[in-house]
Chain A
């Protein structure tokens, strides 16, 4: 039933490792996003895909690579993890075509880099 689901919910890893976070939405939305919430609770957009095409790409290190195999999935791969990557990563989706663009968020994936 979950509208936007992300896995894993918790991820603890060592510096230098490569990890992925997966996101799936079953709402039929045309747009998906990745947001990062840091320790100061600031929530900032990282990427946005509309129908599998990248439409927003904020200034994030190129160690972060989103991949959208279809419009219901948007995965986030992170290479060479650094301490500063520790944060909660939220996936979200919306239907830009509806004109209202109400975002539905996943529960978040807490990444801890040791």
Chain B
């Protein structure tokens, strides 16, 4: 059974700082992993999907890495902005299935 842990649970940083969000998972038999952001009272927005054959995936100021063997993924946010404030969720699939398993998320606050 896939279990996902995200550390830290909450993070508050000043604007402009680079930061790293961590995700660990127990079942490494995955073919991809997704990162989402959730704004308060809203749905989830897919940020990045990283395939198991990739080690990194980049979109703008976001960079996600995946190390299947160690069951870890990180989301790096460069030059953070107040608009980045949201909860970030990591979601690998249940090994061998299409079913995504979500972590509890990291709540990020970027202060102006």
Name A's B-contacting residues (CB within 8 A).
4, 31, 40-45, 48, 55-56, 90, 92, 94, 96, 100-108
Interface of A (DSSP majority class):
strand
**Which 9 A-B pairs have CB atoms at the shortest separation, nearest pair first?**
A105-B43, A43-B102, A105-B44, A107-B43, A102-B46, A102-B49, A108-B43, A45-B99, A106-B43
Report whether B34 and A102 are in contact in the complex, using a CB–CB cutoff of 8 Å: yes
The answer, among B46, B97, B104, for a CB contact under 8 Å with A103, is: B46
With contacts A100-B32, A105-B46, A107-B42 known, what are 16 further pairs, Cβ within 8 A?
A31-B98, A40-B104, A45-B99, A45-B100, A56-B98, A56-B99, A90-B44, A101-B32, A101-B93, A101-B98, A102-B34, A103-B44, A103-B100, A106-B43, A108-B41, A108-B42
User: Is the CB of B75 closer than 8 A to any CB of chain A?
Assistant: no
